[in-house]
Amino acid sequence: MTQESDHGRMAATQGSRIDAYVDRYAARATGMVASEIRALFAVASRPEVVSLAGGMPYVTALPLDVVGELVSDLVARRGPVALQYGSGQGDPHLREQICEVMRLEGIDAGPDDVVVTVGSQQALDLITRIFIDPGDVVLAEGPSYVGALGTFSAYQAKVVHVAMDNEGIVPESLAQTIYALKAAGSRIKFLYTVPTFQNPAGVTLSVARRRQVLEICQRAGVLIIEDNPYGLLGFDGEPMRALRADNADGVVYLGSFSKTLAPGFRVGWALAPHAIREKLVLAMESAVLSHSSFTQLAVGQYLATQPWREQIKTFRELYRERRDALLDALEALMPAECTWTRPKGGFFVWASLPEGLDSKAILPRAVAERVAFVPGTGFFTDGGGARHMRLSYCYPEPERIREGVRRLARVIEQEMQLRDTFGTGYAPDHGGVDTPGPDIA
């Protein structure tokens, strides 16, 4: 051991940020860096801060006493099964129930093609693990879900963003990007998309574009990873038809109970064409042997005995009220130069700041004014997003949302005054926000 690394290790044990192992990590670990949201979480969760940052479902709206009884009943009646190892693919009965849930989005699939995963986040990890060699290309919306970008980076994928607007991915941009990448000899492994109530933009791929995206990818031989945790949380009308409903061979569908029930169960799934499903099960077994039998059976019991469709309706109404509170407050209070999306479901609004403002630079001041958001740059891998921010409305009460927007609007107005006084690129330095904490996305 060198003197330098000895010193580094001592420093590490004394709480310093020097990492004594930095020259020993695998190359892929260099891509593992804390997301913008992670750095924010500890600050944003202080009670005096209105957090429009994290995407935490409002689990308080669940009948917690009923869930409690269900869990204790499960241990009493089926303890020896619930507390035992399970299969790598997941509980067969739960997989059947998952097929019933997916039918609400037009998907006709059998339980044999479903793999239960530790949230859809693990499904993302497993898919990336089985498809990506370092340098392979993943296409993703710009902006894209920060947790997926973290996974792609951990496997050394090269993410290429595809333009999106208020109707989701722009098909022309998708076709052109695929064409250019192929001409340059790049290996495109898949398109990762959140077509419905996207995280972070809140937009939904239109019906016409769904057809076009499917067609373009099918023609180009590009697999689609459809990540759809918010699909049943629409505020008007029936759920959108999933991409997977119209192409069983070219789409891997990822689902989750995190937003329709609770993320604490950590139950999600992948629905995949048969060959991919087999690889997923092997990857799952090497990762965790088997998912928790306990939480799978608890979710299964919940679906079998509780009015889960009604509960989803309750969530939808609650989130609709919060969405309205956020949009009304933005309309009433934000400076005229700001714009934002108008989500029809899900958790997020994507806001654009006036020319010359930088959301990351503004964040420390916003936190000092007791409001938090996520700066847009975390949702891009190419440096985009500086003038944007993600605002989530899922967790705070409507009155808190209004107060949060009041504070945010004040900060933005002050920043605009600075910009007008000192010109664009005034790069205000309000200090850093770098308190580490658990990641939430």
Which lies closer to ligand PMP via its Cβ, residue 362 or residue 392? 392
67 by DSSP, 3-state: which?
Answer: helix
Q: Minimum Å distance from CB 118 to ligand PMP?
A: 7
Which lies closer to ligand PMP via its Cβ, residue 340 or residue 347? 347
Which lies closer to ligand PMP via its Cβ, residue 229 or residue 300? 229
Q: Minimum Å distance from CB 40 to ligand PMP?
A: 14
Compute φ and ψ for 127, nearest 5 degrees: -60, -45
- Beginning with the edge strand found earlier in the chain, give each strand of the sheet holding 251-256 in spatial order: 114-118, 267-271, 251-256, 223-227, 188-193, 137-142, 158-165, 168-169
Strands 50-51 and 371-372 come out as parallel
> What does the binding site for ligand PMP look like in residue numbers (CB under 6 A)?
55, 119-121, 145, 147, 194, 199, 227, 229, 256, 258, 263, 268, 441
Q: Minimum Å distance from CB 124 to ligand PMP?
A: 6
Which lies closer to ligand PMP via its Cβ, residue 113 or residue 125? 125
d(CA 202, CA 196): 8
- My answer on whether omega of the bond before 143 falls inside 30° of 0, hence cis, is yes
Long-range contacts of 326-332 (CB under 8 A, 24+ apart): 326/52, 326/391, 326/393, 326/401, 326/405, 328/402, 329/401, 329/402, 329/404, 329/405, 329/406, 330/405
CB burial of 36-66 (b: ≥16 within 10 Å; e: otherwise) equals: bbbbbbebbbeeebbbbbbbbbbbeebeeee
Q: Minimum Å distance from CB 205 to ligand PMP?
A: 13
Are 202 and 163 a contacting pair, CB within 8 Å? no
Q: Minimum Å distance from CB 164 to ligand PMP?
A: 14
Q: Minimum Å distance from CB 384 to ligand PMP?
A: 18
Which lies closer to ligand PMP via its Cβ, residue 8 or residue 229? 229
Q: Minimum Å distance from CB 183 to ligand PMP?
A: 30
* Structural tokens at position 194: 């959140």
Shortest Cβ contact with ligand PMP: which residue?
Answer: 119
Which lies closer to ligand PMP via its Cβ, residue 227 or residue 358? 227
Which lies closer to ligand PMP via its Cβ, residue 158 or residue 390? 390
| Kind and range of the H or E run holding 390 | strand 388-392
Residue 310: other Cβ atoms inside 10 A: 9
* Structural tokens at position 149: 């970008």
Which lies closer to ligand PMP via its Cβ, residue 257 or residue 294? 257
Q: Minimum Å distance from CB 119 to ligand PMP?
A: 2
- The secondary structure of the chain in percent helix, strand, coil, rounded to multiples of 5, reads 50, 15, 40
Bridge partners (DSSP) listed for residue 271: 114, 253
Q: Minimum Å distance from CB 107 to ligand PMP?
A: 17
Which lies closer to ligand PMP via its Cβ, residue 197 or residue 294? 197
Task: Give residue for tokens 């269900």.
Answer: 70
Compute φ and ψ for 142, nearest 5 degrees: -120, 105
